Amino acid sequence: MEVLTINNVSKSYSNHQALKSISFSISNQRIFGLLGPNGAGKTTLLRIITQIIDADEGEILINGEPLKNDHIKDIGYLPEERGLYKKMKVGEQLLYLAMLKGMSKAEAKKEAAEWMKKFEITDWWNKKLEDLSKGMSQKIQFISTIIHRPKLLILDEPFSGFDPINTNLIKDEILELRENGSTIIFSTHNMESVEELCDDIALINKSEKILSGSKTDIKTSYKSNLFRLVHSGELGELKEGFELKESEKNLDGLNLSLIQVNNGAGPNDLLKYLIDRTEIHAFEEKIPSMNDIFIANVKAGNDE
C-alpha cells in the first residue's frame, strides 16, 4: 500500500526552480530517506507535503486520496528549524500542539505524560522552553511531533542537537514507531544514519530527482566486483581476470589488498585462486556506502 505518492510535483520562486517534476511513492511502514545537498529542494517538497506551501504543478496523494486539509491530522512534521514557544511551559505547549492535531485535552495529557515518563523528563512539565538546553528542547519538539501518533511522520535532521546517547534513544523510537504502523520520511545529511535506518531513498539534486529505490537494490547496483583481502606474503602478478588495484601493509605487518574481479568471475573463483598463493586472514566484498553513492551522483550532476 502506498501511503504517500508524489506525481510530477514542480515549484518555482520567481526565477528559481526549486522542484522539477518530482515523482516517487512511499509504501506503508517504510523509512524513506529524502537526500540531497543544500539547496536541492528537499525542504520545499516537505513544506508542500505538509501544506505549508502549494505546488505549482503535480499532485500529492495520501493513501490514494488527493492531499487535503484533513490529512494534516495524519502527519507529524519535525522541521529542521525548530519552532516551539520559548515562553510557554512544556506541558501546556504539548497539550496545545496535540489538540491542534485533533486530540482531546484528556487524550493529549495522557499521551504527553506517557512520553515524558518514557524519556525520563516528567519534572520538566512546568518548565519554560527557554530554561531548557538545546538537547532538552529537542526532546520536547520530538514529542510534540509524534504525540498524535501520525501515520506519516516527516523528520528533517531529527538528531540535530543531540548527544550520542540521546541520538540512539531517538533512533530506537523511530524504529519502534515504524513497527507500530508509522511511515517515515527521513531527511538528513548524515549518511551513517541513512545506512542504519532507511529502507528506501530518493536523491534530489538541482531540483530534480536523480536516484530512487530501495537502499539495498541501489547499493547492489553500484557494486563493482571489488574485494578486500587481508593476507600475509606478497601476491605477485595475478592471472588474467584478477587485477590488483591497491596494496599496503597494516600495523600488524599484514597486507591489505584490493582486487578487481573481471571477465564474469566471482568471489569463489578469486578465493580458489588465492588460497594457494597466500595465507588469507580476511576476505570481503567492497560494497559502496550511501555516502560514496551520494557523492558520486551529486558530483556527476554538478559536472554536467
**Does the pLDDT at position 176 exceed 80?**
yes
26-39 mean pLDDT: 94
Determine the pLDDT at residue 235: 87
Residues 142 and 135 sit within 8 Å (Cβ to Cβ):
no
pLDDT confidence tier of residue 18, bands split at 50, 70 and 90: very high
Query: In the predicted model, what is the mean pLDDT of the chain?
Result: 91
pLDDT confidence tier of residue 303, bands split at 50, 70 and 90: low
Domain extents in the chain: 2-217, 224-285
DSSP result, the chain? -EEEEEEEEEEEETTEEEEEEEEEEEETT-EEEEE--TTSSHHHHHHHHTTSS--SEEEEEETTEE--GGGGGGEEEE-SS----TTSBHHHHHHHHHHHTT--HHHHHHHHHHHHHHTT-GGGTTSBGGGS-HHHHHHHHHHHHHTT--SEEEEESTTTT--HHHHHHHHHHHHHHHHTT-EEEEE-S-HHHHHHH-SEEEEEETTEEEEEEEHHHHHHHT--SEEEEEEES---SPPTTEEEEEEEE-TTS-EEEEEEE-TT--HHHHHHHHTTTSEEEEEEE-PPPHHHHHHHHHHHHHH-
2-217, CATH topology level: Rossmann fold (3.40.50)
Give the model confidence (pLDDT) of 268-283 as tens digits.
999 999 998 899 999 9
Determine the pLDDT at residue 12: 94
The CA-based dihedral angle spanning residues 112, 114, 117, 123, taken in that order and rounded to the nearest 10 degrees = 30
Q: Which of 204, 227, 202 is nearest to 217 (CA)?
A: 202
**Does the pLDDT at position 304 exceed 70?**
no
Determine the pLDDT at residue 48: 95
φ/ψ (deg, to 5) at 273:
-70, -40
169-175 mean pLDDT: 94
Give the model confidence (pLDDT) of 56-98 as tens digits.
999 999 999 999 998 988 999 998 877 788 889 999 999 999 9
Selection from 7-11, 156-160, 299-303 with the highest mean pLDDT: 7-11
Residues 78 and 72 sit within 8 Å (Cβ to Cβ):
no
What span, in angstroms and rounded, lies between the C-alpha atoms of 262 and 54?
50
145-173 mean pLDDT: 92
165-185 mean pLDDT: 94
Q: Which of 37, 44, 40, 79 is nearest to 60 (CA)?
A: 44
Determine the pLDDT at residue 186: 94
Residues 91 and 126 sit within 8 Å (Cβ to Cβ):
yes
